[in-house]
């Protein structure tokens, strides 16, 4: 136990912290030095994606004080950006996680104490609705309290700017700088000005739902009526929107997994509320088998990502991965526009660098531009913002189960995606096909791609160091071959370069810097490694000849 950690922890015994916090810190100091180290060995990083971590006391945990510090930093940054503004405002939403309502209230208190109007949703809401609300209310920024699909011990804090998208340069680094100069709880103004806090009723809900409904295609009415959809919200926010959206669109057979329809930060029926994992959808799959469901949809706790299982022509329920779902959404969107003769000449699709190149082939075939961005939907949103008024965003997404159609939301949206995927299934049924048949149709037209994701989990201080060491190893001693095939090019997005391994020539990449490595093999396989919180993710993507 270092003296520095004891010194940091001792500061949390002062009267600046509430009794419950002081008592827990004292307990750790007396009886659990290992956990005390984890809680205080570093400050919880406020990065370009906000903060995410385990809840608890300490500088390396999500709690009312680290949340308050982040919000004070945001308030300070906003004041510097808009010194002459008479009234700045921020809208705040939260998911179903434990302590999320408390942390949302802390955000509203700190903002209002700093003279900034705070709009606070009365209850849990999907993250994409927050993105919509920022734009609808004309807010300066937005905050979401969520840790997405992480286990129940986690929570987090994400910041959105006035375009409704998560912060990117220069605002991300500017806010980070302001957060980092706040060294103690004494520098955070927690004294709420209740006159500047407004609770949002269902008016934003209704406007958001109306916009989502505008994406629905007026067709396949009989197929929509007959299609059996089993939906699970995995104890999260999807229950507030998805069933209603589907029923409004004409899907009469929406069957809820009732146990998981109850919002709960304990996520009692799943090990992890991650719709990427078949185990998280197992109860919904069992219900679909019992009820003869055609489609299973499952949203993560903050309802920005959706997992899907579809029945094939042999009657078997088949898991659809993120790249496949993205391909279905893009294909359905482009086919509907093509049938109506309304594909805009200035339309574009967007995907991330780790999303299947199948999407690129589809965009090319339909004559629409493709933008490829860094991982993280904020980069797709950044392209939408940059092209606003010049080009039209048609749709797109990322392999990690996040997709978007339309531009009234500037983040991945599981509510919209659930609607579009369900309509795609109804469209398939109108042609006597299943979604699996539509995937085969896509492969025949644009190439058959296969992909695989491997997640290596390493937690805590040692885990963070191990992940960094693995990434450093890829840079200092890159592999010359993988899976028996020669590496022909190495893309280092951190350095912004692409290197031909044969000629050793290097070209500039033209993307913002990010800690991602990609290796392209002689056999066409593309292998990507990137750190993501407590994980190192390896993805691969290749077209079959």
Residue 62 corresponds to which tokens in the numbers above? 């999500």
- Taking alpha carbons only, the member of 134, 132, 136 closest to residue 406 is 132
58: Cα within 13 Å, side-chain hemisphere: 28
Cβ atoms of 416 and 404 within 8 Å: the answer is yes
Distance of CA 91 to the CA centre of its chain: 18
Is 148 considered catalytic here? yes
CA atoms of 410 and 258, how far apart (whole Å): 30
State the Rg of the chain over Cα: 24
Cβ atoms of 509 and 374 within 8 Å: the answer is no
Give the length of the chain.
545
Q: Which of 148, 233, 382, 400 is catalytic?
A: 148
Cβ atoms of 287 and 255 within 8 Å: the answer is yes
CA atoms of 24 and 281, how far apart (whole Å): 36
The residues near 34 (Cβ < 8 Å, ≥ 6 apart) are: none
Name beta bridge partners: 450.
542
CA atoms of 8 and 544, how far apart (whole Å): 55
Cβ atoms of 171 and 378 within 8 Å: the answer is no
- Taking alpha carbons only, the member of 78, 102, 103, 73 closest to residue 90 is 78
Cβ atoms of 305 and 233 within 8 Å: the answer is no
User: What are the DSSP calls for 280-301, one per residue?
Assistant: GGHHHHHHHHHHT-SEEEEE-T
- Name the residues annotated as catalytic: 148
């Amino acid at each position: 136990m270092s003296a520095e950690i004891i010194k940091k922890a001792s500061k949390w015994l002062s009267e600046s912290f509430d009794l419950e916090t002081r008592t827990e810190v004292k307990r750790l100091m007396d009886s659990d030095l290992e956990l005390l180290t984890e809680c205080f060995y570093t400050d919880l990083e406020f990065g370009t994606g906000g903060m995410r971590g385990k809840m608890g006391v300490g500088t390396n945990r999500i709690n009312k004080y680290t949340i308050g510090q982040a919000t004070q930093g945001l308030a300070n940054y906003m004041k510097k950006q808009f010194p002459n503004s008479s009234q700045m405002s921020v809208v705040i939403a939260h998911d179903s996680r434990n302590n999320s309502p408390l942390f949302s209230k802390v955000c509203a208190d700190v903002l209002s104490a700093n003279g900034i109007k705070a709009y606070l949703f009365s209850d849990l809401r999907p993250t994409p609705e927050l993105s919509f609300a920022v734009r609808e209310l004309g807010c300066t920024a937005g905050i979401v309290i969520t840790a997405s699909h992480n286990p129940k011990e986690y929570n987090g804090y994400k910041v959105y700017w006035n375009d409704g998208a998560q912060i990117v340069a220069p605002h991300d680094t500017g806010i980070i700088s302001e957060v980092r100069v706040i060294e103690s709880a004494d520098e955070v103004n927690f004294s709420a000005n209740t006159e500047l806090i407004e609770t949002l009723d269902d008016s934003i809900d209704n406007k958001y739902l109306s916009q989502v409904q505008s994406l629905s295609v007026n067709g396949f009415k009989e197929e929509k009526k007959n299609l059996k959809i089993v939906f699970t919200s995995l104890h999260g926010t999807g229950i507030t929107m998805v069933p209603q959206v589907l029923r409004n669109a004409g899907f009469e057979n929406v069957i809820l997994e009732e146990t998981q329809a109850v919002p709960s930060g304990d996520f009692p029926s799943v090990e992890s509320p991650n719709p990427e994992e078949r185990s998280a959808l197992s109860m919904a799959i069992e219900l679909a088998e019992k009820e003869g469901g055609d489609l299973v949809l499952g949203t993560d706790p903050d309802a920005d990502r959706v997992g899907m299982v579809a029945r094939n022509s042999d009657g078997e329920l088949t898991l659809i991965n993120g790249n496949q779902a993205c391909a279905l959404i893009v294909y359905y969107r482009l086919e509907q526009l093509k049938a109506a003769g309304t594909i805009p000449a200035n339309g574009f699709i967007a995907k991330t660098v780790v999303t299947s190149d199948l999407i690129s082939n589809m965009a090319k075939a339909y004559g629409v531009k493709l933008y490829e961005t860094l991982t993280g939907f904020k980069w797709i949103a950044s392209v939408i913002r940059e092209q606003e008024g010049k080009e039209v965003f048609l749709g797109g997404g990322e392999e990690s189960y996040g997709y978007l159609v339309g531009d009234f939301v500037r983040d991945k949206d599981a509510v919209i995606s659930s609607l579009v995927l369900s309509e795609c299934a109804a469209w398939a049924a109108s042609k006597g096909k299943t979604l699996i048949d539509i995937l085969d149709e896509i492969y025949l037209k644009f190439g058959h791609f296969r992909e695989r994701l491997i997640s290596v989990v390493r937690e805590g201080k040692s885990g963070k160091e191990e992940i960094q060491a693995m990434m450093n190893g890829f840079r200092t001693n890159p592999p010359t071959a993988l899976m028996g095939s020669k590496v022909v090019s190495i893309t280092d997005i951190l350095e912004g370069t692409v290197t031909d391994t044969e000629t050793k020539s290097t070209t500039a990449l033209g993307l913002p810097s990010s800690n991602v490595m990609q290796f392209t093999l002689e056999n066409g396989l593309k292998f990507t490694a990137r750190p993501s919180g407590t994980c190192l993710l390896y993805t691969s993507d290749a077209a079959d000849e």
